[in-house]
Amino acid sequence: MTLAARISGVGRYVPERVMTNEELEATVETSSEWIVERTGIRERRIAAPHETTSSMGTEAARRALASAGITGAEIDLVITGTCTPDGLFPATASAIQNAIGATHAGAFDVNAACVGFLSGLATGAQFIATGSAERVLVVGAETLSRIVDWTDRGTCVLFGDGAGAVVLERAVPGEPGSIDSLLLRSDGSQAGLLYSHGPCSPLVDGLQQEAKIIMDGRAVFRQAVTMMCDSATEVIARAGLTVDDIALAVPHQANMRIITAMSDRLGLPMDRVYVNVDRYGNTSSATIPIALAEAEAEGRLKPGDRVLFASFGGGLSWGAMVIEWAGVGSRRLVAASAARSAGA
C-alpha cells in the first residue's frame, strides 16, 4: 500500500525554559547520573505560564508552512495530535487553524497519547488519497508539564513540552515522496499501565480525581520495545523493503534505552537513528515531528531516502510508518524555483 502523499514542510517549536536534571535533584529523591543512566535525558523544556499547546503548535505550524513555501490559506485540513489540549473543546486544532489563517480548512484533534502524531499523519494521508484534501497540516503538540506529578520521580524526570508540525501534500507520480506503509494498533486492556484522569473521570468520594500522569515504568518499558520493533518490522516488510533500505529511523523519543533496544533488535545501526531525547525528554505527540524537523535542518535527509517512524504510548497504543522523503518545498515552490533556474 502506497499513499500519494508527501511531506513538503517541517517545523518545530520548543519553549525557552530549560529544566536540567540538577534542578530536579533539589525537588525529588534522584540524581542526574541516575536519570541519564536510566533514560538518557539530561534536560527538558517547560512551557512559560502564557504558553499553551495551541500557541506552541501554532509556532511549529508557521515554521512548517514557511518550510513548504505556502500560506495557511492553502491548507485544507488541520489535524493536531495531543493528549494535553487547551481545553475539552473547541479542538486545539481549531485554535491553530484560526491563528495561521487557514480560513478554508477543517480542523480536529487526535488523542492517541504518544502515537497522536502518527495517527494524525495517517489520517491526513487518507484524506489526500481519497481526494478530499490537497494539503493537510499535521501538528503534534504537548504541554505535559501541567499534568506531571512533580513529586513522583518515576515520571517527572521523563516529560517535557514542545511542538512539531508537517505539511502533507499530494505527491506527483514519478517524483520522490510517498507514504509507503503504515500500521496503527491499540490494546485497551493494558490502559492501566499508562494513563491520566480527566475532568470527566469517575468521582471518588464525590471529588474529581487529579489529572496527573500515572505509569508503571517497568511494564511500559517491556511493552514499548516489543511494540516498536514488531510494528517497525511489519511496515518495512509491507513496503517491500529491508532494514538496510532505511536511511534514517525517527522513533518516539521516550527513553534512550528503548531506542537502543529497538536499534539492536532491528539490526539498524545507531548512526541511522535520530536521537534528541537527551535535550527534550518525552514530549509525547511532539517527539517525532520535532526530531524530523531537526534531522532535516541538520542535513540528515535527502530526496528518495526511506524514513522509518515508530511510536508507542498510553492506550496502550503503538504504530509505525515508512515514508519516502521528498525534500522540503511544496510543488508550487519547487516548480517556481526550477523555472527561475531555467530562465537564468
pLDDT in tens, 141-160: 999 999 999 999 999 999 99
The amino acid sitting at 335 is A
Is residue 138 within 8 Å of residue 121, measured between CB atoms? yes
Q: How far apart are CA 344 and CA 340, in angstroms?
A: 6
Read off φ and ψ for residue 44, nearest 5 degrees. Answer: -145, 160
Query: Residue 25 burial (CB < 10 Å; 0-12/13-18/19+)?
Result: middle
**pLDDT tops 80 at residue 343:** no
Read off φ and ψ for residue 58, nearest 5 degrees. Answer: -65, -45
- Write down the pLDDT at residue 246: 98
CB within 8 A of 66, min separation 6: which ones? Answer: 9, 11
Crossing angle for the helix pair 287-297 and 53-68, to the nearest 10 degrees: 30
Q: How far apart are CA 85 and CA 321, in angstroms?
A: 25
Longest dimension (CA), the chain: 75
What number is the average pLDDT over the span 238-261? Answer: 97
What positions carry a catalytic annotation? 114, 252, 282
What number is the average pLDDT over the span 254-258? Answer: 96
pLDDT confidence tier of residue 172, bands split at 50, 70 and 90 = confident
Work out the mean pLDDT of the chain and round it to a whole number.
94
Q: For residue 20, what is the enclosing H or E element?
A: strand 17-20
pLDDT confidence tier of residue 2, bands split at 50, 70 and 90 = confident
* Cell 485497551 belongs to residue: 188
Q: How far apart are CA 182 and CA 1, in angstroms?
A: 8
- For the sheet containing 178-186, what is the strand order? 178-186, 317-324, 306-313, 246-251
Q: How far apart are CA 243 and CA 228, in angstroms?
A: 14
- Write down the pLDDT at residue 77: 98
**pLDDT tops 50 at residue 336:** no
Structural domains of the chain, with CATH: 1-344 (3.40.47.10)
Q: What is the DSSP letter of 114?
A: B
Torsion of CA 56, 62, 63, 69, to 10 degrees: 170
What number is the average pLDDT over the span 218-233? Answer: 94
